[in-house]
Structure 1
Amino acid sequence: MLAVGAALTAVVACSGRGGDRTGEPAAATTTRPTGTEYKVPATHPSDWGAPEVELPEAPRPYGPSPAATADPAFYDVTTLDAEAIAAAEPGAVLRSEPVSLTGPLTGASGWRILYRSTTAADTSAVVSGMVLAPDGSAPPDGRPVAAWAHGTTGIADRCAPSATSNLFYDDYAAEARRLLDQGFVVAATDYHGLGTPGVHSYHVSDELALATVDSVAAAHRIDAVGPLTRSWVVVGHSEGGLAALAVDQRADEVLPGLDYRGAVVAAPSAQLGSVAAAMFAVPEGRGYAALLLEAAAELNPSLDPAVALQPAATAREALLTHGCWEEAVPGFADLDATEMLASLEVGELLGKVLDTCCASDPKAALGPLLVVHGEADQPLPAELTAGLVKDLCAAGVTVEYRTYPGADHDEVMAASGEDGRRWLADRLDGVDPPSNCATAAH
């Protein structure tokens, strides 16, 4: 869930895998070093246990955000051994507990987990997430794994999908249910700093990728899940679409013992640098842009909302640190564009930072990819994704690109559900992946 608004469209310039699905023992080890130091991240107002503040008056047309049902103590990394974390392999499960699932996930089995990952600076990290398995016994040859990469829920720890019993939204739970019904075990990461201490590295593509890949390795380490095959895929929406693209660029490199089959990429927010400044100008984009400032301040202090925003917008910073999507995103929509940025240079600087930290490189993609977008997506216009697909095709990546009339940013998940099911089934069966690059994005 990430918006840039229909007004931003003016800024946009108009390899297949086969192999058998086997039950061979999965080697889910990574190629990254395992002895990097672990330090608990510096505290941030978005963390569990931070002083509570009263949220400022602001539009809340969608009601309050979902309440977390997990015990915050589960996410307390200070009760873990720092040396053991540093020595563990990426994907090692550090803590787990069963979860009673609700909504579309009712009937499946679930485990809330903390697992070892790595930061973009190549230091140890602890990331939270959830692993889901279909009800009943696994087939003798095992089940494949689908990594689910979620879209924007917020940056406060209470917005972590694993802190709820339905991955925060029933829309996301329904996406996971489709994967479960297809026979996948689902590894659903929260990403760095969402659930665990420190600010969520919102849209930092390296860390989105590492958290997602390591969740797959973690799923292979939970005995109760049952046998797993070597095959795995990634499915992502919005911010998770960027995560899926970033995973695709390094999937074989970081999990060489497994068999990556491709990615389903829904409405990806993969080119925000080019539209960052314009996001503050449209009501649909201001809340997202403010979230990006809050997270990007960790990379450049000049982007701290306390100095980067006008007083009227700064007064609503608690919506970012203590609210979730329902509070943060619409919470700035009623402000005038002139009440947002302290200077035009802030928007330009944010764009440069996002181009560096928070984008995908089409030339590095492996594929195959199924890229889907709703034609009625007002928050993230389809033209952005069409440009991305054009670049992917030019780089020689095998891409099937589909758009859906009448589907908005979230509705594209359900609208593309059957196409995604078919595409994933063919990848598992070793069918040559399709490409419509000759006609897509033109």
Structure 2
Amino acid sequence: MRLSNGSDRMRRPLAAATLVAGALIAACVVAVPQAAAEPAGTTISVTARPDGWHGMSGGAVVDYWTTNSAGAPVPTSGAVFLPPGEPPAGGWPVVAYDHGTAGVGKGCSGISNPEGAPYPTLRWKEDRILQYFQSKGFAVVATDYLGLGAYDTGPHPYLQIRTEATATIDMVRAARSSYPQLSRTWIAAGASQGGQAALGTGHMQQSYAPELDFRGTIALDPESDVEKVLPAAGPWVPNTSAVGDGSMAFISGILAGLREARPDIDVNSYLSPQGRQLIDNVGTLCLDKMIQQVNGLTLGQLLSRQLSDPQFTAALNDYMAVPVSGYDAPILLLLNATDKTVPSPLHGALVAQFAANGVDAHPVLGTGQHCELNPQMWAAMDDFVARVRSTPTVP
């Protein structure tokens, strides 16, 4: 999911599940021989970008190693932005930003290569958040995730929370190895799909990166709990206005990602011939082209049987569920009660689950569109980052 552009079609709620929008087509794809693989978090290359890139100075593309759904080493890419001036004692604190939905095909992310974006307004909105963190004295690192940057590693495992988190943490490690002025102190932040990814990162960092000094998570309208409602879908689902082309694109992305990540589940066995053809087609596409592919299709047309099979639901839960307990750092939830992309009942369910499990999660509500930030949300972010900066960074 990416920041909303106000399109009615992109904002229709999803009866079975839903997410949102924006995609960018990157210009080049580079293949790295498997024999060249290095440990996760190892930098492949750093390429400086001119001032004004993403509206900031101090930017660079970082190519680095992470792992795929099977745990094998794969290359990916991202970006780093350093604040101007001299770093504080201990080094710059780091924010790892996770972007919203871009599609599932190679070159779709707008992080390492924003040129040619099909949704420039959405790119601008996410750049505004990156610029905000840099202005607060944070070094900003942002991953392309798997399969969405400069490397052809197969379809992006859309909303697979584990690989989103490992790609994010490995990006932090690669940036720190390339920029000694970065401290161990860091936070995770993200919007929409990126909000889900940031929550997964905040949970996984305890075991995956204990050497770092993690101080919290900011999640704006994060995807959550779709895995609880999507299994209700089956071939009988009618064509309704509740499931628009945007929502159908998100569902096709989930199915394409799950098929890529979990071949043992045999996702094709749940799909109709038309559904299999669609998932084959979208595996190389960015979000704008995915929406064109699903134009006029119904969810029922994609499926040959209900998705409530226990094996499927267990796999879907493992693939994309946001952990609702076991966090060791505070969470700031920025949630729009009128969100029609990740419907507000899903936001409410996430807040309730966090509260029931004693998670230190503070919700701040708005009444805007998906991923719209109101003054109260900006103020809450100010307070959150000020608390992070109030304690010296760890070198």
Q: TM-score range by the shorter chain?
A: 0.7 to 0.9
- TM superposition shift of 1:278: 5.3
Which residues of 2 match residues 128-147 of structure 1 at below 5 A?
Answer: 128-147=77-96
The question of whether the paired residues in 1 share the 8 Å contact of 2:26 and 2:116 is answered with no
- Alignment partner, residue 158 of structure 2: 202
- Alignment partner, residue 68 of structure 1: 26
- Alignment partner, residue 47 of structure 2: 97
Q: Percent identity among equivalent residues? A: 23
- TM superposition shift of 1:279: 6.9
Cα deviation code 1:186-234 (max 9, x no counterpart): 11011123223122122111111111111111111123xx612331000
Q: 1:193 to 1:329 in 2, by over 3 A?
A: same
Q: How far apart, in 2, do the equivalents of 1:238 and 1:376 lie? A: 14
Cα deviation code 1:14-49 (max 9, x no counterpart): xxxxxxxxxxxxxxxxxxxxxxxxxxxxxxxxxxxx
- Alignment partner, residue 276 of structure 1: 230
**3-state secondary structure, aligned to 1:364:** coil
Name the TM-score, length of structure 2 as normaliser: 0.81
- Alignment partner, residue 6 of structure 2: none
Q: How far apart, in 2, do the equivalents of 1:330 and 1:348 lie? A: 32
- TM superposition shift of 1:99: 2.4
The question of whether the paired residues in 2 share the 8 Å contact of 1:92 and 1:217 is answered with yes
Name the TM-score, length of structure 1 as normaliser: 0.73
Cα deviation code 1:108-153 (max 9, x no counterpart): 2222122122345443332221111224443455210000011210
The question of whether the paired residues in 1 share the 8 Å contact of 2:220 and 2:371 is answered with no
Q: 1:349 to 1:413 in 2, by over 3 A?
A: farther
**3-state secondary structure, aligned to 1:170:** helix
1:6 paired with 2:30, answer no
Q: For structure 1, list consecutive stretches of 5 or more residues without a partner in the other structure.
A: 12-61, 432-442
The question of whether the paired residues in 2 share the 8 Å contact of 1:95 and 1:114 is answered with yes
1:193 paired with 2:193, answer no
Q: How far apart, in 1, do the equivalents of 2:174 and 2:374 lie? A: 25
Q: How far apart, in 2, do the equivalents of 1:121 and 1:67 lie? A: 26
- TM superposition shift of 1:235: 0.1
Q: 1:429 to 1:159 in 2, by over 3 A?
A: same
The question of whether the paired residues in 1 share the 8 Å contact of 2:364 and 2:376 is answered with no
Q: 1:117 to 1:156 in 2, by over 3 A?
A: same
Please tell me the residue identity of whatever aligns with 2:107.
R
| Pairing partner for 1:422 from 383, 387, 390 | 383
Please tell me the residue identity of whatever aligns with 2:377.
S
- TM superposition shift of 1:311: 4.8
Cα deviation code 1:45-79 (max 9, x no counterpart): xxxxxxxxxxxxxxxxx9x954424x32xx3212x
- Alignment partner, residue 356 of structure 1: 318
1:174 paired with 2:128, answer yes
The question of whether the paired residues in 2 share the 8 Å contact of 1:166 and 1:173 is answered with no
- Alignment partner, residue 250 of structure 2: 288
Q: 1:345 to 1:250 in 2, by over 3 A?
A: closer
Which residues of 2 match residues 185-334 of structure 1 at below 5 A?
Answer: 185-195=139-149, 196=151, 197-223=153-179, 227-277=181-231, 282-283=243-244, 284-298=246-260, 299-300=262-263, 302-304=266-268, 308-314=270-276, 316-317=278-279, 320-329=282-291, 331-334=293-296
- TM superposition shift of 1:92: 1.5
**3-state secondary structure, aligned to 2:107:** helix
The question of whether the paired residues in 1 share the 8 Å contact of 2:56 and 2:131 is answered with no
1:115 paired with 2:64, answer yes
Please tell me the residue identity of whatever aligns with 1:68.
A
- TM superposition shift of 1:351: 3.9
The question of whether the paired residues in 1 share the 8 Å contact of 2:81 and 2:141 is answered with yes
- Alignment partner, residue 38 of structure 1: none
Q: 1:403 to 1:369 in 2, by over 3 A?
A: same
The question of whether the paired residues in 2 share the 8 Å contact of 1:371 and 1:401 is answered with yes
Cα deviation code 1:337-360 (max 9, x no counterpart): 442323224888654422122112
Q: How far apart, in 2, do the equivalents of 1:414 and 1:332 lie? A: 36
Cα deviation code 1:233-280 (max 9, x no counterpart): 000112222211111113233323321110001112132211224578
- Alignment partner, residue 342 of structure 2: 380
1:399 paired with 2:361, answer yes
For this pair of structures, how many residues does the alignment match?
A: 366
- Alignment partner, residue 164 of structure 1: 113
**3-state secondary structure, aligned to 2:45:** strand
The question of whether the paired residues in 2 share the 8 Å contact of 1:108 and 1:133 is answered with yes
Please tell me the residue identity of whatever aligns with 1:207.
T
Q: How far apart, in 1, do the equivalents of 2:306 and 2:11 lie? A: 17
| Pairing partner for 2:75 from 126, 129, 142 | 126
Q: 1:167 to 1:385 in 2, by over 3 A?
A: farther
- TM superposition shift of 1:7: 5.4
- TM superposition shift of 1:330: 5.9
The question of whether the paired residues in 1 share the 8 Å contact of 2:203 and 2:327 is answered with yes
Q: 1:313 to 1:392 in 2, by over 3 A?
A: same
Cα deviation code 1:264-316 (max 9, x no counterpart): 01112132211224578522421111111111112136324xx6444555554
**3-state secondary structure, aligned to 1:265:** strand
Q: For structure 2, list consecutive stretches of 5 or more residues without a partner in the other structure.
A: 3-9, 118-122, 238-242
Q: How far apart, in 1, do the equivalents of 2:336 and 2:66 lie? A: 33
The question of whether the paired residues in 1 share the 8 Å contact of 2:134 and 2:140 is answered with yes
- Cα RMSD (Å) of the superposition? 3.2
